[in-house]
Amino acid sequence: MAELTCKLLVIGAGPGGYVCAIRAGQLGVDTIIVDPRKPGGTCLNIGCIPSKALIHAAEEFARLRTFAAEGALGITAADPAIDLSRTVAWKDGIVERLNGGVGALLKKAKARLIEGTARFVDGKTVTVTSAEGESYTITAETVVIATGSVPVELPFLPFGGDVISSTEALSLTDIPRTLAVVGGGYIGLELGTAFAKLGSQVTVVEMADRILPLYDADLTRPVAQRLQALGVRVLTGAKARVFGNGQLTVETGREVEQIAAEKVLVTVGRKPQLEGWGLEELSLTRNGRFLAVDDGCRTSMRGIHAIGDVTGEPMLAHRAMAQGEMVAEIVAGERRVWDKRVIPAVCFTDPEVVTAGLSPEEAEAQGIAMLTASFPFAANARAMTVERDDGFIRVVARKSDHLILGIQAVGHGVSELAAAFGLAIEMGALLEDVAGTVHAHPTQGEGLQEACLRALGHALHI
């Protein structure tokens, strides 16, 4: 068994882990990073990136079908077809390129990558076993736990066979004729919408009284309308029970219904990956189901940090990245604390949903006197020219000084506005700051300026 030492050991090469290792290497910290899979974690390998590739392919295919059926925009097309196995191969090619890119960045930063499974022996020592059977003992001054999260499995719908998680859904080579999606959150709706566009008959089963229950009803309404237009059946206030013989049993109120389903996609959330790496050998304080950390991502044990999904909500890749960068700089001797005002979140549904900062309901719950206003894309020229004028941009500001506290949007392509939303809040912009900034025309981003103008009482285009 080879014995290695380093100043920093990162367990997990997902977005948080690899960013931590790269930044630490840039700062001259002797760093080793360990993961049993290729670098990139769930996000790159089996989550964010491959799902967006599938969503894009499904959107392109759906547009071709529209042109074939209606001759929209004066464009006609022959009856389109899709070979999902080739689509998956294209998606896998993107993942492979990005895997190689992350590996090259780690090498450039002189961070040593070991593909293997790490397990704590004590707070400073781990053993690592590679897929090839090689073994290492690594002793580090500081350890960062960045093991991420895994899908939640329902005891009555265990994964296996035709009951799949998002991981298996992204690797299907045939389009299921019928698909039941258990869970109407962002993962289920992103993938369910994609398969509906590919030709599956999709049924969504959600326990809450509406889809995307963590978002306010105004934001989710356009998504629900689009699902209906795509022929997706949505059952709310419903509970999935058992699956067998191509039928999913669902309780809807007092009734029991059988839903035809070649595949059942279970997307009821994710949980921190706290098993398989020797947590029982440590004495770490928990915060509910997560590891408790302070404003420097330090755990309750000296010399052990934790970042990303194991530390709590929001379980987002970009949060993990920011935490990883901060911890690397702390290890290098810099003074850093977690002081982010906002972490934008995006649902890549159709239409997309973006939230940054406080919603009107959250501001009200905190007792904040506020100004809030929305600008509809139905009044936006750019949205009209791309045939997607559903949705809006909404701004929430403190009434006393017009400080922007939150920005939300739902609409086609609004994910690309997330950076502007986050920047405005992080920089402490006032309504007047955004309203007085010249926005390029014609763009959907003008909706943010118009929402701020409307909150100030003098919108120009509505």
To the question of pTM greater than 0.75 for the whole model, the response is yes
Q: What confidence tens digit (pLDDT) does each residue in 46-103 have?
A: 999 999 999 999 999 999 999 998 888 999 999 899 999 999 999 999 999 999 999 9
Residue 85 is assigned to a ligand binding site: no
In the prediction, which pLDDT does 71 show? 80
DSSP state of 150: E
Pair of tokens at residue 137? 């003992």
- Tell me which residues of the chain have a pLDDT lower than 50: none
Residue 190 is assigned to a ligand binding site: yes
Residue pair 115/45 in contact by the 8 Å Cβ criterion? no
Residue 288 is assigned to a ligand binding site: no
Report the distance separating Cα 268 and Cα 266, nearest Å. 6
In the prediction, which pLDDT does 311 show? 98
Report the distance separating Cα 8 and Cα 32, nearest Å. 6
* 314 contacts: CB under 8 Å, gap ≥ 6: 343, 345
Nearest alpha-carbon partner for 335 in 305, 292, 296: 296
The answer for 136, left when phi > 0, alpha when psi is -120 to 50, beta otherwise, is: beta
In the prediction, which pLDDT does 31 show? 98
Q: Read out DSSP for 310-369?
A: GG-SS--HHHHHHHHHHHHHHHTT-------S---EEE-SSSEEEEEE--HHHHHHTT--
- CA 369 from chain centre, in angstroms, equals 31
Residue 317 is assigned to a ligand binding site: yes
Helix ranges, 29-83 (H): 41-46, 48-70
In the prediction, which pLDDT does 253 show? 83
3-state secondary structure of 429: coil
Residue given tokens 């882990």 in the structure block: 17
In the prediction, which pLDDT does 130 show? 86
Q: C-alpha angle 58/90/203, rounded to 5°?
A: 30
Q: What confidence tens digit (pLDDT) does each residue in 379-427 have?
A: 999 999 999 999 999 999 999 999 999 999 999 999 999 999 999 999 9
Residue given tokens 């100030």 in the structure block: 456
Report the distance separating Cα 182 and Cα 146, nearest Å. 28
Residue 91 is assigned to a ligand binding site: no
What radius of gyration do the chain's Cα atoms show? Answer: 24
Among residues 402, 412, 441, 461, the one annotated as catalytic is 441
Residue 309 is assigned to a ligand binding site: yes
Residue 189 is assigned to a ligand binding site: yes
Residue given tokens 């003992």 in the structure block: 137
The domains of the chain, with CATH numbers, are 2-47+87-151+271-332 (3.50.50.60), 163-268 (3.50.50.60), 345-456 (3.30.390.30)
In the prediction, which pLDDT does 133 show? 83
Pair of tokens at residue 239? 């509970």
Helix ranges, 111-236 (H): 166-169, 186-198, 217-229
Residue given tokens 């389903």 in the structure block: 261
Backbone angles phi, psi at 215, to 5 degrees: -110, 155
* 18 contacts: CB under 8 Å, gap ≥ 6: 10, 33, 39, 40, 41, 102, 105, 106, 324
Residue 74 is assigned to a ligand binding site: no
The answer for 276, left when phi > 0, alpha when psi is -120 to 50, beta otherwise, is: left
For the purposes of burial, counting CB atoms within 10 Å of the CB of 192, is it exposed (0-12), middle (13-18) or buried (19 or more)? Answer: buried
Pair of tokens at residue 208? 């809450």
Residue 460 is assigned to a ligand binding site: no
Pair of tokens at residue 203? 């049924």
The yes-or-no answer on residue 402 being catalytic is no
Residue 253 is assigned to a ligand binding site: no
Residue 206 is assigned to a ligand binding site: yes
Number of H helices, E strands in the chain: 13, 23
